Structure 1
Amino acid sequence: MENTSTPTVMIIDDEADLRDSVSQWLKLSGFEADSFEAAEDALKVLTADYPGIVLTDIRMPGIDGMTLLRRLQSIDPGLPVILMTGHGDVPMAVEAMRIGAYDFVEKPFQPEQLADLCSRAAQLRARTMETRALRKELSDPNAMLRKLVGESPAIEKLRENILDIAQADGHVLVTGETGTGKSLVAKSVHACGPRASKPMITLNCASTERELQDAILFGGPNWPEKPLVEQAEGGTLCLEDIEHLSDAAQAKLLDLINAVSDGPETARPVNVRVIAVSSVLTGGSGSVEGFRNDLYYRLAALVLQAPPLRNRGKDILTLFTNYTVELADEYGCEAPQLNAADAANLIQAPWPGNVRQLINLAERAVLQSRRGENNISALLIDDGFEAPSMAIDTDKPLKEHVEMFEKMLIDHALRRNAGSVSAVMAELALPRRTLNEKMAKYNLSRQNYLNG
């Protein structure tokens, strides 16, 4: 997972000059710094939710560094603690490493060395906090499924498939266009399966340097941190944008999957379920340049496809309304109101950016509303969508608006599906008899839509 917040270092030392110089250097290096003269004062604010790391001297009056380390281990064993030591304290620092310290740095130290050490510790802390937040989020599988908002046949089917595949416990490929919520689908699979009480560890392959992927996932002699495969022991390893996985990492991942699948004779001491997420790989082919077909077919034993937003009908209006209400609350203004034309245009828009694009549009609509304007259809046109002509006559009764809207929906569905009645029935969730009656009512002939 990517963490964009500024890393924080808590500096604890009874020497004011050292505290000030370390704090100044770390701030210049992109950190936030909290300084304390005594461990007693630091302990008043240190909790298991502290987002940063601790940099402490080992020899201090009152509570010394070793005692502080033991106290912090009882508060949060996952909190990285770096000890600053004098030359004679090195054996003590080594003992501190044995009982849980992240590392130590010997005085006098180079500022760059300290900044690099703090950076690695802060990255570890960020992943720990993200994992905890995710585990909390995943603790209620029903709540996770409820985040897949909508009542369209496409989203109902997706929820059913998630429940089935989650229990199967095989490796999973989650596919779908950009912005369709594939990460949420992956989280839901983990939350609804037998591994829900175990970790779900995520790596975004596209945003991770290819040269580091092998070490991050599987470790190595010079890699200082626990590899993600081991962190995910008993749980789920989610690889987002897996088509960007390096050749070396692909080979090791295939070895791991084969070892686990082939039984105890060859199995490694690692038990993980892999969920691969991709906008490029599909459930029908693994032919993507640079991606191994043998790995693809192992991962694609079970496939889930997140539906594009344009195929979700009235879900679009539900999602748009939900997002505008949430965003209006954040901005302290009234949520914009949809009229019939706006609703029709939202449903008919192609949504190449899917839910992500819808969220962006909802935010712009809220900002527009805050200025006293309300023209959602104009925002759609700004996004490059040519809205159909649908003039609203306020003197017409509601029944005529509904009929006009219904006719437009069926007309566009027939166009998209080149006159395929069965495809339109599935898209609009209409029985054949009902669709035939409505096509006759609105003088829509299937012959007019054949071949585009």
Structure 2
Amino acid sequence: MAQAMKIAIVDDEQDMRQSISQWLALSGYDTETFASAEEALKVLGPDYPGIVISDIKMPGMDGMQFLKKLMGSDSALPVIMITGHGDVPMAVEAMRVGAFDFLEKPFNPDRMSQLAKRAAGARRLTLDNRALRRELSDGTQLMNKLIGASPVMERLKEDVLDLGQADGHVLIDGETGTGKTLVAHALHAVGSRAGKKFVLVNCAALEEEALAKRLFGPMLPEDEQLPAMEEARGGTLVLEDIEALSESLQARLLSVINEQGTPAETRLICISNLQEAGRTCEDALRPDLFYRLAALRITVPPLRQRGEDILSLFTRLSEQFAEEYGCDAPKVTAQEAAQLLQAPWPGNVRQLINIAERAVLQSRRGSGTIASLLMSDHEEMQPVMTTEGKPLKEYVEAFERMLIDNTMRRHKGSIASVMDELCLPRRTLNEKMAKYGLQRSDYL
């Protein structure tokens, strides 16, 4: 569940601090109070997870000085200023400096709650955007998102690390829904351009004229952004659906690549999403452009080739959705685990995300099965099976690993509780955890 937004209340009058705090606490906020601006500044850092309500007239550092300090540290921090009756010029000045809004004494508590709600919403959006930007520039975080310990995923991670450092242009291909855009983000984040611009353009989303303008310009004075080739200068430009480029735009792109020389000023990562049977990106692009873009190449594996990664992903996703919806994650039976492993997954990870969310929703209602969800994704109501069979031993081991992993997660690494629930002696549990690469420290 979402954590309550913090509100820092700064006022030298104790009665005022307490009354504001009590009122906002009743509205579900996590309040903390400070008797002076100096005291508050010891706590209010650049990424403070909340908003500030401060009086303007205080001894020592007054509210205006306090506001300027806060804006210097984090200009996106919402600060609501409390002004005395008739202090309109001071309120206007506070807004000019960067205050979110102001309240004039004596103020209506409902008006304060409304302002706090608006400010909290703006702060949550700012913090979410910052977290996303950090995540997309953090190679470690992104590599952790490439979940899985199957041989094909281990090779993919090695390729990302190797090609991320190589700094040449890269072509990423693979079936729809496999996570090619995530791989592009990871390539940028683990390379030497990690702190530079990352610009993404979907070539299939724009008409030819609009796409030419977006990629190469010229831009009009009223346009808010630079052409993508200019915007990404020194960083990485990702072109999704590269096969959608017309012949004339392919020629222009090749010309720009040739002008850049080696090493390229802007790194290109191109993503191919061809769906037609028997047709590849090589068929869609002119040969000289294809070979320039495909000098380094990554093929993202389909989900059906990732073995027990399917169960690990399903468990992780269902837990996330269960937390979001405020309910327990569904328990997977041995039969359902086998069905997940046997499904052909034409939509790959994107389809698995959809199945996990629907499984959580139907579990919350107390109805439905994973098998029914898998079958509903196909026109023919036939048993859902891959064309590739697996030995029974592999299905048993995959389910056993998932069961131990889920139980360890649920009991937060308590070996005694896991032994009791699974009726396993300590030595057997230790042996199985070692076999499946599970470590107690990961669950504490």
Normalised TM-score (structure 2): 0.56
Question: Which is worse superposed, 254-263 or 182-191?
Answer: 254-263
Match of 2:286 among 286, 292, 296: 292
Residue 431 of structure 1 corresponds to none
Runs of 4+ in 1 over 6 A off after TM superposition: 43-47, 128-133
Residue 256 of structure 1 corresponds to 256
Identity %: 48
Deviation at 1:176, TM superposition (A): 0.7
The question of whether the paired residues in 2 share the 8 Å contact of 1:206 and 1:241 is answered with yes
Residue 437 of structure 2 corresponds to none
Task: Report the 3-state secondary structure (helix = DSSP H, G, I; strand = E; otherwise coil) of the residue aligned with 2:261.
Answer: helix
Deviation at 1:318, TM superposition (A): 0.5
The one-character-per-residue Cα deviations of 1:231-287 (angstroms, maximum 9, x if unpaired) are: 111110011111122444322221111112268xxxxxx8200000112299x9644
The question of whether the paired residues in 2 share the 8 Å contact of 1:213 and 1:246 is answered with no
Residue 236 of structure 1 corresponds to 236
Residue 172 of structure 2 corresponds to 174
Residue 313 of structure 1 corresponds to 307
Task: Report the 3-state secondary structure (helix = DSSP H, G, I; strand = E; otherwise coil) of the residue aligned with 2:204.
Answer: helix
- Cα distance in 1, alignment partners of residues 148 and 219 from structure 2: 48
Distance 1:288 1:402, change over 3 A: closer
Distance 1:262 1:337, change over 3 A: closer
Distance 1:50 1:259, change over 3 A: farther
Distance 1:406 1:145, change over 3 A: same
Residue 191 of structure 2 corresponds to 193
Task: Report the 3-state secondary structure (helix = DSSP H, G, I; strand = E; otherwise coil) of the residue aligned with 2:237.
Answer: strand
- Cα distance in 1, alignment partners of residues 147 and 343 from structure 2: 19
The question of whether the paired residues in 2 share the 8 Å contact of 1:286 and 1:293 is answered with no
Residue 334 of structure 1 corresponds to 328
The one-character-per-residue Cα deviations of 1:281-316 (angstroms, maximum 9, x if unpaired) are: 99x964434x32221111001001110000000000
Task: Report the 3-state secondary structure (helix = DSSP H, G, I; strand = E; otherwise coil) of the residue aligned with 1:206.
Answer: coil
Distance 1:302 1:403, change over 3 A: closer
The question of whether the paired residues in 1 share the 8 Å contact of 2:274 and 2:280 is answered with no
Residue 303 of structure 1 corresponds to 297
Residue 324 of structure 1 corresponds to 318
Distance 1:327 1:361, change over 3 A: same
- Cα distance in 2, alignment partners of residues 368 and 238 from structure 1: 38
Read off the aligned partner of 1:383 and give its amino acid letter: D
For 1:269-418, what aligned pairs fall within 5 Å after superposition? 271-280=265-274, 286-289=281-284, 291-384=285-378, 386-387=382-383, 403=393, 405=395
Read off the aligned partner of 1:198 and give its amino acid letter: K
Task: Report the 3-state secondary structure (helix = DSSP H, G, I; strand = E; otherwise coil) of the residue aligned with 1:203.
Answer: strand
Residue 408 of structure 2 corresponds to none
Give the unaligned 5+ runs of structure 2.
Answer: 1-63, 79-87, 100-125, 386-390, 400-444
Read off the aligned partner of 2:290 and give its amino acid letter: Y
Q: CA RMSD in A?
A: 3.9
Give the unaligned 5+ runs of structure 1.
Answer: 1-39, 52-60, 76-127, 264-269, 390-400, 410-452
- Cα distance in 1, alignment partners of residues 150 and 162 from structure 2: 19
Residue 143 of structure 1 corresponds to 141
- Cα distance in 2, alignment partners of residues 168 and 142 from structure 1: 18
Read off the aligned partner of 2:201 and give its amino acid letter: L
The question of whether the paired residues in 1 share the 8 Å contact of 2:150 and 2:307 is answered with yes
- Cα distance in 2, alignment partners of residues 364 and 136 from structure 1: 30
Task: Report the 3-state secondary structure (helix = DSSP H, G, I; strand = E; otherwise coil) of the residue aligned with 1:207.
Answer: coil
The question of whether the paired residues in 2 share the 8 Å contact of 1:183 and 1:277 is answered with yes
- Cα distance in 1, alignment partners of residues 266 and 195 from structure 2: 13
Read off the aligned partner of 1:294 and give its amino acid letter: D
The question of whether the paired residues in 2 share the 8 Å contact of 1:286 and 1:297 is answered with no
Distance 1:308 1:250, change over 3 A: same
Read off the aligned partner of 2:153 and give its amino acid letter: I
Task: Report the 3-state secondary structure (helix = DSSP H, G, I; strand = E; otherwise coil) of the residue aligned with 2:168.
Answer: coil
Deviation at 1:62, TM superposition (A): 6.0
For 1:24-103, what aligned pairs fall within 5 Å after superposition? 49=76
Task: Report the 3-state secondary structure (helix = DSSP H, G, I; strand = E; otherwise coil) of the residue aligned with 1:226.
Answer: coil
Read off the aligned partner of 2:213 and give its amino acid letter: A
Match of 2:207 among 198, 206, 209: 209
The question of whether the paired residues in 1 share the 8 Å contact of 2:219 and 2:227 is answered with no
Task: Report the 3-state secondary structure (helix = DSSP H, G, I; strand = E; otherwise coil) of the residue aligned with 2:327.
Answer: coil
Number of aligned pairs? 285
Read off the aligned partner of 1:162 and give its amino acid letter: V
The one-character-per-residue Cα deviations of 1:22-48 (angstroms, maximum 9, x if unpaired) are: xxxxxxxxxxxxxxxxxx9xx999975
1:219 aligns to 2:184 (yes or no): no
The question of whether the paired residues in 2 share the 8 Å contact of 1:131 and 1:200 is answered with no
- Cα distance in 2, alignment partners of residues 312 and 339 from structure 1: 20
Read off the aligned partner of 2:335 and give its amino acid letter: A
The question of whether the paired residues in 2 share the 8 Å contact of 1:135 and 1:199 is answered with no
Task: Report the 3-state secondary structure (helix = DSSP H, G, I; strand = E; otherwise coil) of the residue aligned with 1:303.
Answer: strand
The one-character-per-residue Cα deviations of 1:146-180 (angstroms, maximum 9, x if unpaired) are: 10000000000000011111111000001110000
The question of whether the paired residues in 1 share the 8 Å contact of 2:250 and 2:289 is answered with yes
Read off the aligned partner of 2:283 and give its amino acid letter: V
Deviation at 1:139, TM superposition (A): 3.0
Deviation at 1:333, TM superposition (A): 1.2
Read off the aligned partner of 2:295 and give its amino acid letter: A
Deviation at 1:402, TM superposition (A): 6.5
Read off the aligned partner of 1:360 and give its amino acid letter: N
Distance 1:281 1:186, change over 3 A: farther
- Cα distance in 1, alignment partners of residues 364 and 196 from structure 2: 44
